[in-house]
Amino acid sequence: MHDDPLKDEPKEKVDDNSGVSRRDFLKISTISAASVPILGTKIVQADGQPVKVFGPGKVPVELTVNGEKHTLKLEPRVTLLDALRDQLDITGAKRVCDRGECGACTVLLDHRAVYACSVLAIDAQGKEITTVESLMQGETLHPIQQAFVDNDASQCGFCTPGFVVAFKAFLDQHPQASSDEIRRGLSGNLCRCGTYHGIHLAIAQMARKGA
Amino acid sequence: MPDYNWPDADHRTLIGKRISRVDSPVKVSGRAKYTYDYHGANMLFGKVLRSPYAKAKIVSIDTSAAEKLPGVKAVEIIQKPDATAQWAGDEIVAVAAVDESTAEDAVRLIKVKYQPLSYLVSDAEPPAGAGEAAGPMSQDDIDDAISNQIPDAQLAQYLQEHGVTFKVDNDFLKDMEGEGASEAVLAAIRQAPYHEVKAAHHSNYQKTATQTSGDPDKAFAEADVVSEGLYGAPVIVHCCLEPHGSVSEWADKDHLFTHISTQNVSGIAAQMAEPLGVSAANIRIHQDNIGGGFGSKFAADRWDIAAARLSRKAGGKPVRIMLERDAELKVAGARPSAYARVKVAARKDGTITGWQSQSWGTGGPGGGGMPPIPYVFGIPNQRKEHTAIRNNIGPARAWRAPNHPQAAVISMGALDDLAAKLNMDPLDLWLKNLEIAGPRRDVYREELAVAADLMGWKEKWRPRGQNVSGNVARGLGLSIHTWGGRGHASDCDLTIHPDGSVDIKMGTQDLGTGTRTTIVIVAAETLGIPIEAINLYIGDTLYPPSGGSGGSTTPGGVSSSTRRAAVDAREALFGKVAPALNAQPEDLECVNRTVRVKSDPSRSLDWKQACAKMGAMPLTARGHNDQVAGNNHPDLTNSGVGGVGMADVEVDTETGIVKVKKMVAVQDCGLIIDLKTAESSCYGALTMGISYALFEEKVMDQATGRMLNPNMEFYRLAGLNDIPELVVHMMTGKGYDERGVIGLGEPPVISPGAAIANAVANAIGARVSFLPITPDKVLAALNQRKAGA
């Protein structure tokens, strides 16, 4: 997680004191239309366009996680994953590659699966954040979780929450999906212990249910 | 004398059945806590500045700007000026700050001047004539050899022949014991002759083994067929999903509490005590769950010591250092490479008569040893020479079945090429030579038959390059393997409470292999109660010590200590209950939640009523498994397994892409406690095997000395869609169950790489010498074959 100073990129002209990094810049520029009202922002010119800048320093951030609202003060560069884990102690989503390669940090953002390591916390404001912790109904496992248990689809278990959440997101959007389709849908998640055989079986169990 | 023996098949209600892993629900729900999830109050975040150079002398370090940065609470210099960084990523300075980004900022403010030195990051074949003659071993050499898990006999023989450069004292022996040196190796170190002077290593190459047995010259001169080839496997990394690291905090200046991601809960405190200047008794180690280890997490690493020192400097606040992904792949362990030029001599009928190999490989700065080649087959006439390459790629660590997968790739590849040259089905060649396959030869015979059946080998197998349809070539390959797997030292405390509740405490760890499940099955079976009735506590030095989880030693160790504790506790309970049932204690049994009289089951108490007879005090029994087999009466664990791997692959001869279509694993491991998790170990091993066979390599940049792929995009692991139909068959029943419990973590991961390499050779009619079998290598092998034809 190294944020290279923007001054290394001479093409993009930004107020030198803005504290904006290239990574922040890219994120900000994609959400500038979302116009989330946040205190402490300012507008700078980047490539002739006005963009909203958060920080430098900590800014207030409001996150809705599993239906509960949390108000935090975070540096704008903090990812959703780190905010969940280090600020809210919601640790089901795991930090593994920290750059969108392995899927262990998968959470739902407005019901769509995202890599929480690749979303800034400030970008997750105003959206419904759902983590693996919310899948159980009381002490009853979600059918996907039960399918993982039945088919021994976890060993060390570090990739498991990411797989479970990605699985749920995919099935929610494709309730009639076949096993092959689910497999493709989960191909953004990696396991090291080698639990894919169990996951294949869990997929088959769920696909049968869906059919 | 209580009967500790495993119950026979008729009296097992849980052992050997398919039982769901007891910690699955917490894992699938996200509730399972790992070291990385621990967040102490006021926790500080540690970050490490690492050497950008593969080898460099540290000239100066200026941490003043970092120290002044608001939010920075402590700075710890790990390697001082004048020290030499030995690989890119070597630790130089650690900092602790109030949050992670501040710690990262602080690291960027540290100024280090380096004097870059010449380095080697290649493990290419050593130039002819390179290689210092073998010499006596320094303390570091021995340390490296043990870390690399050089086979005991090889290391002992080397020590006997070449001696040591230092006076051996008890401290050193104790250190080596802590690192896992066996009795045999410790004895060899003690008896090694002392040679006063040993110049620093000048060469990167050292001939570490030169061995001749029988009469290889005669064998090759008289051979009907001689097959020659080049085989090997590169350096790969562990890529644990939970990186290495820990959180340390001081309760006061003498008491440390460390959460650490480790395979060795009971063995960590002793490693931290000396560098921190505190007694091991005052260090508490804790771990609930570990996100992968695979052999790389036995030590308290430099960054763990740094975290504890940073915490001390910061007034005892918890300091977390968990490695970033790039550091995890660069410095936290790698499997040594091994390559070999091999010649095999044989008679026309397939009898193998001679072996000759020149092998080389690297385990980083330590060089590494010769893998056990020729593997499994004790070929009668041999000449072997191994050159270890000491280089600057970072240190090696044990990786599931150390040295064996490499040995299998080399040996099984050479024998497969021999079979092709003899126009034999390799299955027939293997069967033909089982007489020299050691003590498990009859097991291999049975397992090969089962595997061939499950694969449909006889129906599917075609001679090399003769199963081609258009641009799709199909092929089969096989390999066999062996491993020890005897139970390690383990202590278990089992307590029965007067209200009928039962708890077990043991300083072991569950790597995802099913250790928790194993323990509760054994206890529940012994006490005749359901597994849910047992509360299991592991992963803490507050509990009795149990060995590190490596070398497939855990199932034997924990099942034996649990069985002994449970039997003793049960006997003690019988003593309390017998008067109430008007019986003698030895006439009682625990069955189906009751304590009852064997000869008259109608005289019984349910479990709770029986436990109430204890009065107010609970009873605790301590079970011990000794790692020396002869000290256990009876011995409940055993050593030595076989195992077969078979692969069916499809190769696209236009793109060079290899697709594994089916894998078969047939495995024995003595008495199986839980069939479900045992099978999962094999499925996982096949999957890891496909991954290292086709994708994995630690790629070093010769120009900068750095690892080129320290991430999960370019260090590719197999994904869901790379895994085909996997078939696992566990050998059970007569001939297996009565052997006792044997570990399973290593053996099934050994053969897949060799089996896949052989299947590719069978498909395309040419050998891809080195793993991973990437499309470019497949196309090169095909082009070479065409050019030669």
CA distance B104 to chain A (A): 8
Q: Strand pairing of B381-389 and B352-362?
A: parallel
Q: Kindly state the tokens that stand for A180.
A: 């092959």
Contact B242 A164 (CB under 8 A): no
The Cα B168–Cα B253 span in angstroms is 33
Q: Which residue has the tokens 């506790």?
A: B569
Number of Cβ pairs < 8 A linking chain A and chain B? 178
Q: Which residue matches tokens 């960027």?
A: B108
**Mean pLDDT, range A142-169, rounded to an integer:** 98
Nearest CB partner across the interface for B677, out of A94, A152, A158: A152
User: Which chain A residue has its CA at the smallest distance from B711's CA?
Assistant: A97
d(CA B756, CA B761): 9
Distance separating alpha carbons of residues B576 and B497, to the nearest angstrom? 13
The arithmetic mean of pLDDT across residues A25-49, rounded, is 58
Q: Burial code of A24-52, b = ≥16 C-beta within 10 A, e = fewer?
A: bbebbeebeeeebebeebeebebeeeebb
Distance CA B415, CA B377 (A): 10
Q: What residues of chain A lie within 8 A of the CB of B712, using their CB?
A: 96-97, 101-102, 190
Give the whole-angstrom CA distance, residue B83 versus residue B661.
51
- HEC sequence for B575-643: HHHHHHHCCCHHHEEEECCEEEECCEEEEEEEHHHHHHCCCCCCEEEEEEECCCHHHCCCCCECCCECC
Sign of CA dihedral A198, B325, B547, B29: negative
Q: What pLDDT is recorded for position A36?
A: 44
Has the ipTM of the complex gone over 0.90? yes
Q: Say yes or no for a CB contact (<8 Å) between B30 and A91.
A: yes
Given a cut of 50, whether residue A25 has pLDDT beyond it is no
Mean pLDDT by 10 residues, chain B (789 residues): 94 97 98 97 98 98 98 98 97 97 97 97 89 77 74 82 87 82 88 73 82 96 98 98 98 97 98 97 98 97 98 98 98 96 98 98 90 97 96 96 97 98 98 97 98 98 97 98 97 98 98 98 98 98 97 97 98 97 97 96 97 96 95 96 98 98 98 98 98 98 97 97 97 97 97 98 98 98 88
Q: In chain B, what residues touch A89 (CB-CB under 8 Å)?
A: 39
Q: What is the residue-wise DSSP string for B287-346? A: -SB-S--TT---S--HHHHHHHHHHHHTTT--EEEE--HHHHHHHS-EEPPEEEEEEEEE
Strand bridging mode B502-506 / B534-538 = parallel
Q: Where are the alpha helices (DSSP H) in B39-151?
A: 64-68, 100-109, 139-147
C-alpha–C-alpha distance, residues B64 and B152, integer Å: 48
For residue B483, is it left (φ>0), alpha (ψ between -120 and 50) or beta?
beta
Q: Give how far B297 is from chain A: nearest CA, Å.
A: 14
Residue of B nearest to A180 (CA): B721
Integer distance in angstroms from the first to the last C-alpha of chain A? 43
Q: Are the beta carbons of B488 and B266 closer than 8 angstroms? A: no
Question: Tokens at residue B77, please?
Answer: 């210099």
Nearest to B291 among A135, A148, A156 (CB): A156
Separation of alpha carbons B462 and B470, rounded Å:
16
Report how far residue B147's alpha carbon sits from residue B592's, in angstroms, rounded to the nearest whole number.
Answer: 47
Q: How far is CA B45 from CA A47, A195, B307, B553, in A?
A: 36, 32, 9, 35
Nearest chain A CA: its distance from B197 CA (Å): 45
Q: What is the pLDDT of residue A39?
A: 52
Indicate yes or no: CB of A184 within 8 angstroms of CB of B721.
Answer: yes
Set of chain B residues whose Cβ sits within 8 Å of the Cβ of A97: 325, 711-713
Q: B125: how many CB neighbours lie within 10 A of its CB?
A: 17
- What residues of chain B lie within 8 A of the CB of A160, using their CB? 27-28
pTM for the full predicted model: 0.92
**Pair B610, B598: CB distance under 8 Å:** no
Q: Per the CB < 8 Å rule, is B21 touching A152?
A: yes
Q: Specify the 3-state DSSP secondary structure of B113.
A: strand
Q: How far is B115 from chain A (nearest CA, A)?
A: 25
Find the CB nearest B29 among A104, A132, A192. Answer: A132
Inter-chain residue contact B291 with A189, CB threshold 8 Å: no
Partners of B294 on chain A (C-beta within 8 Å) are 192
- Closest residue, chain B, to A135 (C-alpha): B29
Is the pLDDT at A1 greater than 50? The verdict is: no
A63: phi then psi, degrees, rounded to nearest 5: -120, 140
Chain A residues inside the 8 Å CB shell of B32: 157
Cβ of A194 and B683 within 8 Å? yes
Residues from chain B that touch A77, judged by Cβ atoms under 8 A, are 101
CB contacts, 8 Å: A136 with chain B: 29
CA distance B226 to B42: 68
- The alpha carbon dihedral of B562, B564, B567, B570 has a sign of negative
Question: Is pLDDT larger for residue A22 or for residue B83?
Answer: B83
Q: Do B29 and A86 touch (CB under 8 A)?
A: no
CB B33 within 8 A of CB B690: no
In contact, B440 and B358? CB cutoff 8 Å: no
The strand pairing partners of B61, in sequence order, are B112
Exposed, middle or buried by CB within 10 Å (0-12, 13-18, 19+), for B177?
middle
Among B29, B263, B324, B727, pick the best mutation site for testing chain A contact (most A Cβ within 10 A). Answer: B29
A86 and B39 within 8 Å at the Cβ level: the answer is: yes
Phi, psi of A117, rounded to the nearest 5 degrees? -75, -15
Percentage of chain A exceeding pLDDT 70 = 79
pLDDT reading at A15 higher than 50: no
Is residue A176 scored above 50 in pLDDT? yes
- Phi-psi bin for B655: left (phi > 0), alpha (psi -120 to 50), beta? alpha
Contacts of A154 in chain B (CB under 8 A): 21, 24, 27-28, 512
Band of pLDDT at residue A48, cut at 50, 70 and 90? confident
Q: Which of B99, B292, B325 sits opposite A193 (nearest CB)?
A: B292
Integer Rg of chain B from CA: 28
Contacts (Cβ under 8 Å, ≥6 apart) of B286: B257, B258, B259, B260, B265, B539, B540, B541
Quick check: A132 and B20 CB within 8 A?
A: no
- For chain A, helix, strand, coil in percent to 5 are 35, 20, 45
Mean pLDDT, chain A, rounded, equals 85
Q: How confident is the model at residue A18 (pLDDT cuts 50, 70, 90)?
A: very low
Give the pLDDT of residue B153.
80
Mean pLDDT of A149-165: 98
Q: Name the minimum distance, in Å, from the CA of A46 to any CA of chain B.
A: 24
Task: Give contacts of B241 with chain A, Cβ < 8 Å.
Answer: 94, 96, 102, 104, 156, 158-159, 190-192
**Does an H or E element contain A183, and which?**
helix A179-185
Tokens 């008067």 found at = B579
Nearest CA in chain A to B510: A156
Residue holding tokens 């005052």? B282
Distance CA B490, CA B729 (A): 29
Q: Which residue has the higher pLDDT, B450 or A56?
A: B450
Q: Which residues of B touch A153 (CB under 8 A)?
A: 28
